[in-house]
Amino acid sequence: MAPIAATVNNNERPNERPMSAGPEAEFAELAASLPPTLKAERHGAVAVLKLARAQKRNALDDPTVFGIETFFSNLPEDIRAAVIAGEGEHFSAGLDLSELSERNTFAGVEHSRSWHRAFERIEFGSAPVVAVLHGAVVGGGLELAAAAHVRVAERSAFYALPEASRGIYVGGGGSVRLPPLIGTACVMDMMLTGRTLSAEEGQTIGLTQYLVDEGQGLAKGMELAHRIAGNATFTNFAVTHLLPRIARSDPSAGFVAESLAAAIAQGDEEAKARLKAFLEKRAPKVARS
| DSSP helix/strand/coil, 158 | strand
Among 151, 175, 180, 147, which Cα is nearest to 65's? Answer: 147
Got the DSSP string for the chain? -----B-----PPTT-SPPPSSHHHHHHHHHHTS-TTEEEEEETTEEEEEE--GGGTT-B-HHHHHHHHHHHHS--TT--EEEEEESTT-SB--B-GGGGTT--HHHHHHHHHHHHHHHHHHHTSSS-EEEEE-SEEETHHHHHHHTSSEEEEETT-EEE-THHHHT----SSHHHHHHHHH-HHHHHHHHHH---EEHHHHHHTTS-SEEE-TT-HHHHHHHHHHHHHTS-HHHHHIIIIIHHHHHHS-HHHHHHHHHHHHHHHHHSHHHHHHHHHHHTT-SPPP---
Q: Does 143 qualify as catalytic in the annotation? A: yes
Catalytic residue among 163, 201, 214, 269: 163
At 266 the three-state DSSP class reads helix
Per the annotation, the verdict on 163 as an active-site residue is yes
Residue among 202, 205, 97, 96 nearest 159 (CA): 202
Say which of 26, 69, 123, 143 is annotated catalytic. 143
- Please report, to the nearest 10 degrees, the dihedral formed by the alpha carbons of residues 178, 37, 25, 227 taken in order: -40
Catalytic positions, please?
143, 163
